[in-house]
Amino acid sequence: TKKRSLGSGVIISNDGYILTNFHVVAKATETKVRLADGREFDAKLIGTDEKIDVALIKIDAKTDMKAASLGDSDALRVGDWVIAIGNPFGLAHTVTAGIVSAKDRMIGAGPYDDFIQTDASINPGNSGGPLFNIKGEVVGINTVILSPSGANIGIGFAIPINMVKEVLSELKEKGKVTRGWLGISVQPLTPELIAALNLNVTEGALVSDTDKGGPADRAGIKRGAIIVELEGKKITDIAQLPRVVARMEAGRSITIKIVRNNETKEVMAVIGKMGK
């Protein structure tokens, strides 16, 4: 027997491209889209990015669609009003409002862990739907609820639209996203670590592990090194690092400034290609 599941999406171009969550369409054998006016279409899967939980699908509507415009999620401030639209529990076209409770929220969802937190009511079925700013621009794609019961408790999360915009053309053209890779695990430099290790730096990413034979390992970066700069860009928090590396092309040589035993040195590394 076929199982049906429900999610939401947002039309982002007049020719029928729609953004939704990867987990909404991941195991679908067929995907149907029902618009607010009741029209129904078969949708084609164009591209997926499991790492940030985004999928691009397309419908052929024969006429120009009304598309939402994409805003700037970096311009959002804590306290700004936001509006979520979706189909919570199958209740079509539900609109809820709230504020941005926090930005750059890390919830242990992987290397691209950087969510907009909102108290706008987001429930099962809202996944993949848009989060709008007060100007009516899409600033996020609603994705996760953090709740023991699975129902809304005033904490919802959305993928920042700027993160999605970075991969959109690649999803359209190639159907998947290729990211740069260094082959390291990092942890934050806490005041306790700085004191315990008697460090002379206060900002950077502490290398907790390296993949044997990976780009960082080949460049001589070992566990315990602190990455303070990447191509001249200061690393002030660890969430930056995977995102900066991800945007780099495989095969590119980069300069990394590291601190080890309180000595600073520069090493060259060749960016690898991230696997699945």
pLDDT (tens digit, 9 = 90+) per residue, 78-107?
999 999 998 877 677 789 999 999 887 765
Q: Out of 8, 73, 121, 127, pick the active-site residue.
A: 127
Q: Give Cα 77 distance to the centre of its chain.
A: 18
Residue 188 in this model has a pLDDT that exceeds 90: no
Catalytic residue among 8, 23, 73, 114: 23
Q: Which two tokens stand for residue 29?
A: 């054998």
Q: In 69-161, where do the E strands start and end?
A: 81-86, 94-105, 115-118, 130-132, 138-145, 156-160
Question: Which CA distances in Å does 55 have to 81, 83, 99, 141, 276?
Answer: 26, 21, 26, 11, 15
Q: Which of 8, 49, 53, 114 is catalytic?
A: 53
Residue 217: give its domain's CATH number.
2.30.42.10
Confidence of residue 33 (pLDDT cuts 50, 70, 90): very high
Amino acid in the structure at residue 168:
L
Rounded to the nearest 5°, which phi and psi values hold at 105? -80, 130
**Single-letter amino acid code for the residue at 146:** L
Name the CA radius of gyration of the chain, rounded.
21
- Residue-wise pLDDT for 202-250, tens only, equals 889 999 999 999 999 999 999 999 999 999 889 887 777 887 888 888 8
Comparing CA positions, the residue from 121, 116, 14 lying closest to residue 64 is 14
Q: What is the mean pLDDT of the chain?
A: 87
The answer to whether position 8 is within a domain reads no
Among 166, 201, 226, the domain boundary falls at: 166
Contact of 64 with 45, CB cutoff 8 Å: no
The DSSP bridge partners found for residue 156 are 118, 145
Specify the number of domains making up the chain.
2
8 is catalytic: no
Distance (Å, rounded) from C-alpha 92 to C-alpha 142? 15
Asked whether residue 161 falls in the same domain as residue 184, the answer is: no
- Cα distances (angstroms) measured from residue 89 to each of 43, 50, 103, 143, 159: 21, 24, 26, 14, 21
Q: How far apart are CA 23 and CA 26, in angstroms?
A: 5
- Same domain assignment for residues 154 and 187: no
Give yes or no: residues 187 and 243 share one domain.
yes
Q: Are 18 and 9 in contact (CB under 8 A)?
A: yes
Are the C-beta atoms of residues 70 and 12 closer than 8 Å to each other? Answer: yes
- Please give the structure tokens belonging to residue 163: 């993160």
Q: Please tell me which residue, 9 or 147, carries the higher pLDDT value.
A: 9
| CATH at 91 | 2.40.10.10
Q: Which domain holds residue 186?
A: 180-273
Residue 4 is assigned to a structural domain of this protein = no
Residue 141: pLDDT over 80: yes
Residue 37: active-site member = no
CA gap 176, 160 in Å, rounded: 19
End of a domain among 142, 166, 190? 166
Q: Is there a domain that residue 37 lies in?
A: no
Nearest to 70 by CA among 120, 2, 12: 12
d(CA 46, CA 41): 15
Bridge partner list, 256: 230, 267
Is residue 76 helix, strand or coil? coil
Last residue in a domain, options 137, 166, 195:
166
Residues 187 and 254 in one domain: yes
β-partners of residue 105 are 115
User: Quick check: is 185 catalytic?
Assistant: no
Distance from first CA to last CA of the chain, Å, rounded?
30
Say what the pTM is. 0.80
